[in-house]
Amino acid sequence: MMPFKSIYYSERFLKIIFGFSLFMVLVMGGIAYKHIRQLSRSTADVQHNYEVHLELEKLLSALKDAESGKRGFIISRDSTFLEPLLLSSLELDKNMEHLKFLTKDNPEQQKNIAELKAKIVKSLDIFKKTLDLAATDNLNSPEFIAGFREGRQTMNSVRFKIIEMTTHESDVLGTSKEKSSKNISNTPMLLYYVLILSLLILLLTYLQNSKNLKVLKEKNELLETFKKSTTQSEIISKHGNWIWHIEENTFEYSDNLYRLLGEEPQSFEANLANYMDFVHPDDVDKLTEQVNKMMENEDLPFIHYRIIQKNGSIKHFKAYGKLLIDSDGHKKILGTTADITDEIENYRLIEKRNLELERSNKELSSFNYVASHDLQEPLRKIQTFLSRLEEKEQDHLSNNGKVYIERIKSSSTRMRSLIDDLLQFSRTNRSEEALEDSNINILLETAKHDLVEIISDKRARISSDFIPSMKVIPFQIKQLFLNLMSNSLKYSRELTAPVITITYSQTKASDLPKIKYSKHNLYHTITVKDNGIGFDQDYAEKIFILFNRLHNKNEYSGTGIGLSICKKIVENHNGYITAEGDINNGSIFTIYLPLS
């Protein structure tokens, strides 16, 4: 994410740089324009100055011509000398006008021109006067001499004025030239600095751009990798992705979505109508409704529907979509469609097997019932008839007959206890009874009560700790104590009064032997310890297996079911039972029940 952010920031940076560069170029252009304007203006100034000079020169020269013409006429009396005078008076007017026009921006010059004009007019008047005098041959008259002198003076003052004007014009040119030349001499330097600055900015931009490009390249490669792994995961997990651009209402389908539909990637245009063609007719309405909702709510919850591929096979699809708003503010829904056909088929298979299991369980339990209940009945009758036979026909029986009857009796008793225990085992189920808070001490006492005869026969001593109440199936726990205690009593040592010690403690799950995973942290621990014949520790596991016996039937009257029932009961309570045996020293049975 970070590099993308930096690109985002650098985009802003670039924008700023670009704006700045644009500004710089504009400034440079402006400065150049201004300076060129200035240059051209100063050129015009020089031109103008030159023209004014020229005009003044012309003026002066016309006056000079007139003067020299006048002198020529006076000396030679040849009137041809007067021609330039006549011409020059016309010329002078023209020159004056031109000068006036040229210097119309300069009030001082205008003033000078006005003065000059007055002087010229005066000088022309004096010309006329002297000429008139000359024409009447009054050359020696004092008037003529005065006129002539005055003419010279006026002429000098005109010349002086013209020089003054020329100087003024030169001064104006000089100052503007000085000003512009200062500006113009700064221009290359400024342009150079701006250029250097621009180049620096350009370099900076280039560096930033190349950095961004590198990041983009890396990101592109990463994206490419992601794309490949997405494609791969799409194929493996059998799902396809799609994007719905909400504003443009256009769709994009991933290649695998096409494959899920049984089509070649991008083989048809990605739109809703084309997709709907594949949807199972029974699911079209459902899906359309959901899609309409999606368009309204801009969200798509998990939906399940079927499609039919062109080859006719039906697939189960599950789809989900989520709204995404990208950095440009465009809304799109990113969707995932998964082919869950295998899941559904597996689920159906499991369901089918569950049903089969349930059926066979039912059969088994009814078999159990029949086996134990219906077998019990004829057996019981055999026993009843035997007791009748013993009672009533005792006297008619031979000794052999009596022995046979005894044998039949013991066999039927054994069969009876087998059937009873089997029935007990098959009835020890979890589902039958609910757990209830029970006083375990009372259950233990009830179990003891059931064994009261054998306890007194064997002079057994049974001691027990106080056990806290637990949530259990009461009759099963009573049965558990009953079986364990009768086990201890049954396998007691000859000539030794049985001593059974029942203790209570609590054990942490981590300290429990053989248990790796446990939902519970703490376990009630009840141990039943006796001083009986014990057993070889190698058989510690085996004794809990149904019909497993360590002793011959003739020695001990066990059915091999009692401890299996114990195990089943403890497991019904999510507990564990372990056994420790020490031959001729006794055995310890430990029950662990979860402390909820």
Partner 1 sequence: MKYKMEKPKLHLLLADDDIDDCDFFKEATDEISDACNLSIVHNGVELMNFLSSENADLPNLIFLDLNMPRKSGMECLAEIKSSDQLSQIPIIIYSTSLDHTVVSELYQMGALHYIQKPAEFSSIKTVIEKALLLFNANVTPTCSREHFIIQP
453 touching partner 1, by CB under 8 A? no
Return the range that interacts with partner 1 (CB under 8 A); candidates 23-31, 150-158, 337-345, 379-387: 379-387
Long-range contacts: 305-314, Cβ < 8 Å, 24+? 305/279, 305/280, 306/279, 306/280, 306/282, 307/261, 307/278, 307/279, 307/280, 308/278, 308/279, 308/280, 309/261, 309/262, 309/278, 310/262, 310/263, 311/262, 313/262, 314/280, 314/341
Min. distance of Cβ 369 from partner 1 in angstroms?
8
Helix crossing, 83-102 with 107-135: angle to 10°? Answer: 170
Min. distance of Cβ 570 from partner 1 in angstroms?
18
For 495, half-sphere exposure in the C-beta direction (CA atoms, 13 angstrom radius) is 1
430 touching partner 1, by CB under 8 A? no
Would you say 208 or 383 has its CB closer to partner 1? 383
Encoded tokens for 154: 């006026």
Return the range that interacts with partner 1 (CB under 8 A); candidates 174-182, 219-227, 370-378, 545-553: 370-378
Min. distance of Cβ 387 from partner 1 in angstroms?
4
Return the range that interacts with partner 1 (CB under 8 A); candidates 78-86, 281-289, 427-435, 544-552: 427-435
Q: List the one residue out of 570, 571, 576 whose CA is nearest residue 513.
A: 576
Long-range contacts: 508-514, Cβ < 8 Å, 24+? 512/576, 512/592, 513/578, 514/576, 514/578
Q: What are phi and psi for residue 113, nearest 5 degrees?
A: -60, -45
Min. distance of Cβ 388 from partner 1 in angstroms?
5
Return the range that interacts with partner 1 (CB under 8 A); candidates 125-133, 186-194, 259-267, 426-434: 426-434
Q: Are 557 and 490 in contact (CB under 8 A)?
A: yes
Those residues whose C-beta lies under 8 Å from the C-beta of residue 462, and which sit 6 or more positions away, are: 448, 455, 485, 499, 500, 502
Instruction: Name the residue type at position 500.
Output: I
Min. distance of Cβ 502 from partner 1 in angstroms?
23
CA distance 415 to 379: 8
| Given 218, 363, 432, 555, the residue binding partner 1 (CB under 8 A) | 432
Min. distance of Cβ 406 from partner 1 in angstroms?
14
User: How many residues make contact with partner 1 (CB under 8 A)?
Assistant: 18
Report strand pairing: 461-464 vs 576-582. Answer: unpaired
Instruction: Name the residue type at position 228.
Output: K
Would you say 227 or 373 has its CB closer to partner 1? 373
Min. distance of Cβ 414 from partner 1 in angstroms?
13
Instruction: Name the residue type at position 205.
Output: T
| Given 427, 490, 493, 542, the residue binding partner 1 (CB under 8 A) | 427
Would you say 14 or 382 has its CB closer to partner 1? 382
Looking at residue 104, what DSSP letter applies? T
402 touching partner 1, by CB under 8 A? no
Q: How far is CA 412 from the centre of its chain?
A: 77
Encoded tokens for 212: 């961004």
395 touching partner 1, by CB under 8 A? no
Min. distance of Cβ 448 from partner 1 in angstroms?
15
| Given 348, 380, 414, 471, the residue binding partner 1 (CB under 8 A) | 380
| Given 388, 407, 414, 461, the residue binding partner 1 (CB under 8 A) | 388
Per DSSP, helices labelled H in 237-307 are 255-260, 272-276, 281-297
| Given 13, 475, 504, 539, the residue binding partner 1 (CB under 8 A) | 475
414 touching partner 1, by CB under 8 A? no
381 touching partner 1, by CB under 8 A? yes
Kindly tell me the burial class for residue 559, based on how many C-beta atoms sit within 10 Å of its own C-beta (0-12, 13-18, 19 or more): buried
Residues numbered 147-166 forming contacts with partner 1, rule: CB under 8 A: none
384 touching partner 1, by CB under 8 A? yes
> Using only C-alpha atoms, what is the Rg of the chain?
65
Would you say 270 or 415 has its CB closer to partner 1? 415
Residues numbered 2-21 forming contacts with partner 1, rule: CB under 8 A: none
Binding site residues, partner 1, CB under 8 A: 373, 376-377, 379-381, 383-385, 387-388, 391, 412, 416, 427, 432-433, 475
